[in-house]
Chains A and B, each alone.
Chain A
């Protein structure tokens, strides 16, 4: 069963950082993974440096030894810091970064902006019209039109019979 350690990672009562604490080999691997994460988002240099420093600091602060908890809390801390870049919403922050080239600066909620640029449906009906496909009815119709054509011809060309 999967256990969500991320929830506990978002707790605000973390102890103060000690910059001189050594970093374990596991933490280096963890840090490297978080670097990979950061590399996929187009932060500017200042943001990236700040996030990296914050992350290193958070890792040193962690008092638990369970690697599962350390990993979850590290990522939670990273997401919290990313969220601070965009009014406290980590997903909106990622979206804003993804849409950065076209997203107007004043937009607060990129997800709403994106939805606003999607065409909103205005429903209408489209249902097939009944169709009479019977062959006998078709033949009847053809006979009828032939008869009409014949009657018309008789009126137009009196050589072929009596005109009524």
Chain B
């Protein structure tokens, strides 16, 4: 299939992006010049140049967000995000009867209860649309842990039984999980890609509404030039205070940024790796990820695949559209600060790797910008850190020349030199402006009631802003560490993500943030006498944020605090006031049909006659391994299952005859200690 010959949106998007470039560059350079006037007489040249360069970079970075939000604000005020004539949504078409979509959920050592609940919610939602004939569902497991594997498999069988969906919901476990999630998706494309025109990628914590999935299919059918359709997943379902604040801020400010992004990007949109529909044939043909020369972390496999896949799709001439207005797309955010930072650690490495693709031939400039933008979300932290250090050096020079703290007071500023006030005010406007615009939009569009009412929403915004300010230095330190670790060759391993609401114990928080807190407290006490009151006051949010990191991590990880805030209508989001059916169906009562595997799932699969029969039916006879499996069966029966390593269990589980033989042999035993080892006494 070839791309569509005409691209009506391209000229418009180029013009818009030129405007964006000008809006970012001109104020940043202008403020840099103004700052130069301020610093020229008081600072040495090297300090002046470094300070101005970092200021311009950081200001450009925050202004990109500000202009995006501002444009989004006006787009939303107009009441429509579709701003061009040949918008893909307007060209949607009823799908052909043979149009087939694979909804795939790659998983890795996940809790099957949650993944099955999510898959079931999607399935039932599609079923309610009456268009199930177009959709198939795949649970693509990369789990290495035999416990997870067996649990997933049994949960899948029960789900199929519950929904009578054998043949429509499929389970596949990859024995060798190279290239992590992107490798898992690529494996799907290689095996089954030919049988599907489209695929929808879901994360283990994703849910999508059937109406949304069908609408995406209609859009794809009507727009044969579109390669990827990306929705905006909304963070939901968490109860810890930390996650509820994140949900609130994303739900409140997100629409502005999304509308703005869509305005700039048009058909050169981004892809976040999930909650998106992909045209399989061009994806298979063009989006296999390159392996970067050199060793990890900057070389080797790409850790963040999504941006690169979007760039490769666009490079091959296909369009990538971000459709935030579609709705019906949800995900779950990390429950605690520590989990959030763990995710950032992976993203930091992945985004830094993207810089090595910047010079690649035939990439669209919009995607080069996305690579830079992604890297800047982590590089901004060390830049801000260096900026603070430069500020401290300036301060020392200032004090050495007999400066007084009073000249830094809010009341003194602007008296003889208004420039610093202007710089501060502009920066503050660019940082906090989007929040204000979001509140204005929600107020005018009468949507504040979905956030607990205007009062609760405003209080939420104030508290969230304070939380974000206090947390900013903690993030700055950690992101800086991540960048330094990546640049110095310390890579990160692929691991399962935390999905449940787990509280952070004090000892864990002290281990992770203790040093930061100590530094913050030390500065709070040590710096004040040297800096004078007003200089100290300017730096207080940074010291305070560092000092409070341990209690912040602990208290915000508590569900009880999150639920307390919810009872007081704080940080409410529309999905908490009126949960969509798909989210209600994630409740435990909807998955009570799942088998209760108590204890060791490997033992249960050997011993339980039903589990054993189903598991064996899904394996093949691996005659080549029979020499090994015979020895392992003997080991399991003579020494007990506890003596088998994870690898040995995986080998046994993968061979049908081994599992049938073990089942028979275990039940034939008579020695009490051996029976006890298999849970039969």
Contact = CB atoms under 8 A, between A and B. Distances in A.
Pairing of A with B: yes
B668 A36 contact: no
A137 B195 CA distance: 39
A67 B670 contact: yes
A110 B612 CA distance: 14
10 contacts: A1-B634, A2-B633, A4-B668, A41-B610, A95-B613, A98-B613, A114-B166, A122-B195, A125-B190, A138-B361
A127 interface: yes
Contacts of A115: 617
A40 B289 CA distance: 47
A132 B288 CA distance: 15
A70 B670 contact: yes
B672 to A, nearest CB: 9
Given A40-B610, A133-B357, 15 more contacts: A1-B634, A4-B668, A33-B675, A41-B610, A68-B671, A71-B669, A76-B668, A98-B157, A101-B164, A102-B164, A114-B166, A116-B167, A131-B360, A132-B361, A135-B359
A110 B167 CA distance: 13
Given A95-B614, A114-B617, A119-B136, A133 B359 contact: yes
A117 B160 CA distance: 11
Interface string B500-519: 00000000000000000000
Instruction: Select the residue from B167, B186, B316 with max chain A CB neighbours within 10 A.
Output: B167
Given A102-B161, A119-B170, A128 B610 contact: no
A134 B284 CA distance: 25
B613 A126 contact: no
Nearest to A93: B613
Nearest to A36: B680
Contacts of B638: 1-2
B164 A5 contact: no
Given A115-B617, A119-B136, A128-B290, A6 B668 contact: yes
B189 interface: yes
Given A71-B670, A102-B164, A141 B361 contact: yes
Can you list the 9 inter-chain pairs with the closest CB atoms, starting with the nearest? A138-B359, A71-B670, A94-B613, A117-B167, A121-B191, A128-B288, A72-B668, A132-B361, A2-B637
A94 B612 contact: yes
Given A6-B668, A72-B668, A129 B286 contact: yes
B170 A4 contact: no
B658 to A, nearest CB: 13
A71 B288 CA distance: 56
Nearest to A114: B617
Nearest to A38: B609
Given A94-B612, A115-B617, A126 B186 contact: yes
A95 B609 CA distance: 9
Contacts, number: 135
B228 to A, nearest CB: 16
A75 B664 contact: yes
A96 to B, nearest CB: 9
Contacts of B164: 101-102
B446 interface: no
B193 interface: yes
B634 A75 contact: no
A124 B194 contact: yes
B660 interface: yes
A67 B288 CA distance: 60
A79 interface: yes
A41 B359 contact: no
Contacts of A9: 668
B584 interface: no
Contacts of B564: none
A76 B668 CA distance: 8
Interface in B185-201: 186, 189-195
Nearest to A125: B190
B457 interface: no
Given A71-B668, A125-B190, A101 B161 contact: yes
Contacts of A110: 617
A148 to B, nearest CB: 15
Interface in A30-51: 30, 33, 36-37, 40-41
Contact of B361 (A91, A98, A99, A137): A137
Given A75-B664, A124-B284, A97 B670 contact: no
A152 to B, nearest CB: 14
B314 to A, nearest CB: 13
Given A33-B680, A91-B616, A138-B361, A123 B191 contact: yes
Contacts of A126: 186, 189-190, 193, 284-285, 288
Interface in B261-305: 284-286, 288-291
B618 to A, nearest CB: 7
A154 B137 CA distance: 57
Interface in B636-664: 637-638, 660, 664
A111 interface: yes
Contacts of B608: 40
A9 B284 CA distance: 54
A24 interface: no
A71 B671 CA distance: 10
Contacts of A33: 667, 675, 680
A42 to B, nearest CB: 8
Nearest to A135: B359
A95 to B, nearest CB: 4
A36 B291 CA distance: 54
B613 to A, nearest CB: 4
A68 B670 contact: yes
B360 A133 contact: yes
